Structure 1
Amino acid sequence: MQFGIFTVGDVTRDPTTGTTPTERERIRAMVRYARHAEEVGLDVFSTGEHHNPPFVPSSPTTLLGHIAGLTDRIVLSTSTTLITTNDPVKIAEDFAMLQHLAGPERVDLMLGRGNTGPVYPWFGQDPADSVALTVENYQLLRRLWDSDVVDWKGRFRSPLQGFTSTPRPVDGVAPFVWHGSIRTPEVAEIAAYFGDGFFANNIFWPPSHYTRLINLYRQRFEHYGHGPAAHATVGLGGQFFMRPNSQDAWDEFRPYFDEAPVYGHGPTMEDFTERTPLTVGSPQQVIDRTLTFREHFGDYQRQLFLVDHAGLPEKTVLEQLDLLGGILPELRAGFEALRPAGVPSDPPTHAERVARQAARPEPVAV
């Protein structure tokens, strides 16, 4: 099973010191987190995409390409690539380029609609078209990756005639795609139809909220003939703050929780940890809570944690990564001990997908 971290790249004031990092400091800190994630044994580093303050990751493949040159094995991904407002041609080109630079086994991406309505007009789109944009743009993206020459006509961009996206995907196989959603069944349907992965952020709401979408995805994955529902590729988000002593974790994290842009000035930390997967406490408490996720969602293949938000200082984030690295063996062993035989423990690799494509029968001429 893959474990990793994701960042939303927020530039947030530290409520305990009153200091706010510069954009450059925040960006360079994210690079250090990716490198340290690899050092402590994590499998994945993932970045969001935002085009509005207080967030800085507006160019994910630039960030990931830089990290690729500083690391050796960690998988580089996105925790949202905006399928609604990015041109599918540019997505196809950017991630194929990243494949060539980092190596195809180290690159995948997560597509999503994003959670910032004003971004649509900034890129010439209407938020009312978000679902239609998601469907059409992904159909075009798949064509651009899977076909050497593309003719295309749709609603939302100028037609393409005899167009070839360059560079071509490595070995003719595009990066593995996850589709992320917290409320849109059409996204689960798209993921199932194409046999892609489905990612549930699993941060803000009770597990029951995400269970509906994951179950829908699994059912439709089997319906479309990709294999048993239990074999569908599922990823989850999550977040924690831990210290060796549980009370120390609560005392230290509380001011960051209370001021956090995403949930500050709302529910108490006690209420939020009870109702959502946020875990604040000791390493053993994080292990125990995380291992319960499969009780809600079934066996899954990727677990990403948000650890660098809410103004937490760099030193603290690096310490959180050290603690996470320390419990990784128990997390891996715990999940694998419960996984039924035959259920994949990891997302499909590039090599597996190349072999699968090579085994497909050639179309019969008529």
Structure 2
Amino acid sequence: MQFGIFTVGDVTPDPTTGRTPTEHERIKAMTAIALKAEEVGLDVFATGEHHNPPFVPSSPTTMLGWIAARTERIILSTSTTLITTNDPVKIAEDFAMLQHLADGRVDLMLGRGNTGPVYPWFGQDIRQGIPLAIDNYALLHRLWREDVVDWQGRFRTPLQGFTSTPRPLDGVPPFVWHGSIRSPEIAEQAAYYGDGFFANNIFWPKEHFKRLIGLYRERYAHYGHGSPEQAVVGLGGQVFMRRNAQDAVREFRPYFDNAPVYGHGPSLEEFTEQTPLTVGSPQQVIDKTLTFRDSFGDYQRQLFLMDHAGLPLKTVLEQLDLLGEEVVPVLRKEFAAGRSAQTADAPTHAALLARQSPQVPE
């Protein structure tokens, strides 16, 4: 099982000081966090993609390329690559290039994003969000698997005899996760291709995501990729830790109360009760994360959001020390102990190369 962190790259004032970092400071902080993630033994660093304030990660492959040059082991991924507003040809090229530079330590999560105005900025219509996701990925999937592609779809100019370069490393495309918090169509898409499904279950109660993941597992088996237990699932999570739980709650409360993503709504106590957010001791994080398997079955990737809401870099690095030293080693052991023999391994380039990705059924 893989453990890691994801960032949305928000530039948010620190409510305890009133200071807002510059874009430059935030970008450099994100790269420092990625390096720290490898240092403490995490498996994955993932960045979001946004094209509007108050976010900075508008060019994920640029950032991940920089990180790839300074790391050796950690998998570099995205927590959203906008399949709706990016040209699938450019996605194919950019991530294949990154895959070569990182010696295969690359995968990506496709999503529609959560910012409506992005669509017209890139010449698209938000009302076509689902059809765009389906059409664009159908092309991206082919571009990585066919040397010469003829294509005619609904949303871009046709392609005739087109070859995307560079070709995927070792002939193995980057592993794709399809991320969704509400759309069964995306769970269906992930199942059809035999790709991973990532449920970023950080905002809504678990019952909603149990239905979505259950649908994905059922349809994964329907399309002949394996049993429902062999489907490849990823989950989100949010944590803030101090060795003393009361210290964690006291320190994190002003950040929670003022956070753009969930502030000014339910109380911290209500939110931690109803969602995966855990604010407390490392043991409390361990205990709550282990309950995810009870709700969703065995899964392959757990990513935590830790650098948001204006938290200063020093605090985030301290959080990563706790995560890497006290939480993840226990989670690895506990998840491995109860893991079904049928459960698929977490995706890596080496594993995909060894078995070569299965073909999509006719």
Q: Aligned to 2:16, what secondary structure does the other structure show?
A: coil
Give the structure 2 partner of residue 226 of structure 1. Answer: 225
- Residue type of the partner of 1:58? S
Paired position in structure 2 for 1:354: 353
Question: Given residue 22 of structure 2, which amino acid in structure 1 is its aligned partner?
Answer: T
Partner of 2:211: 212
3-state SS, counterpart of residue 347 of structure 2: coil
Q: Find the counterpart in structure 1 of residue 282 from structure 2.
A: 283
Q: Partner residue of 1:135?
A: 134
2:312 corresponds to: 313
The aligned counterpart of 2:183 is 184
**Aligned AA for 1:85?**
T
Aligned to 1:297: 296
Task: State the match for 1:148 in structure 2.
Answer: 147
Instruction: Tell me by how many angstroms 1:343 deviates.
Output: 1.4
- Name the stretch that deviates more: 118-127 or 323-332: 323-332
> Which residue in the other structure is 1:258 paired with?
257
Deviations 1:132-182 (A, max 9, x none): 000000000011111001111111000101111000101111100000000
SS at structure 1 position matched to 2:144: helix
- Provide the alpha-carbon RMSD of the alignment: 1.1
Aligned to 1:364: none
Aligned residue identity for 2:304: F
Q: 2:74: which partner in 1?
A: 74
In 2, Cα distance between equivalents of 1:171 and 1:318: 35
What is the TM-score with the length of structure 1 in the denominator?
0.96
TM-score (structure 2 length as normaliser) = 0.97
In the alignment, does 2:14 pair up with 1:14?
A: yes
CA 1:359/1:65 → structure 2, altered by over 3 Å: closer, same or farther? closer
Match of 2:192 in 1: 193
Residue 125 (str. 1) matches residue 124 (str. 2):
yes
What is the distance in 1 between the residues matched to 2:143 and 2:281? 47
Q: Which runs of 5+ in 2 are unaligned?
A: none
Q: Percent identity?
A: 76
Shift of 1:337: 1.1
| AA matched with 1:197 | G
Q: Quote the offset at 1:358 in angstroms.
A: 8.7
Q: 1:56 to 1:358 in 2, by over 3 A?
A: closer
| Kept in 1: contact 2:229–2:342 (CA 8 A) | no
Q: Which structure 1 residue ranges, 5 or more long, are not aligned? A: 361-366
Given the superposition, is the C-alpha separation of residues 358 and 338 from structure 1 closer, same or farther in structure 2, using an over 3 Å criterion?
Answer: closer
SS of the residue corresponding to residue 182 of structure 2 reads: coil
Query: For residue 90 of structure 1, what is the aligned residue in structure 2?
Result: 90
Partner amino acid, structure 1, of 2:312: P
Q: Distance in 1 between matches of 2:213 and 2:66?
A: 33
Distance 2:54 2:177 in 1: 26
Shift of 1:353: 2.2
Distance 1:257 1:352 in 2: 39
Distance in 1, Cα, partners of 2:348 & 2:43? 13
In the alignment, the residues of structure 1 paired with residue 358 and residue 139 of structure 2 have an alpha-carbon distance, to the nearest angstrom, of 24
The 1-side partners of 2:357 and 2:230 are apart by 21
**Separation in 2 of the partners of 1:107 and 1:66?**
13
Q: Within the alignment, does 1:57 sit opposite 2:57 as a pair?
A: yes
* Distance in 2 separating the partners of 1:37 and 1:352: 22
1:14 and 1:343 mapped to 2: Cα distance? 42
Give secondary structure in 2 for the equivalent of 1:115.
Answer: coil
**Preserved CA contact (<8 Å) 2:172 2:357:** no
Amino acid at match of 1:254: R
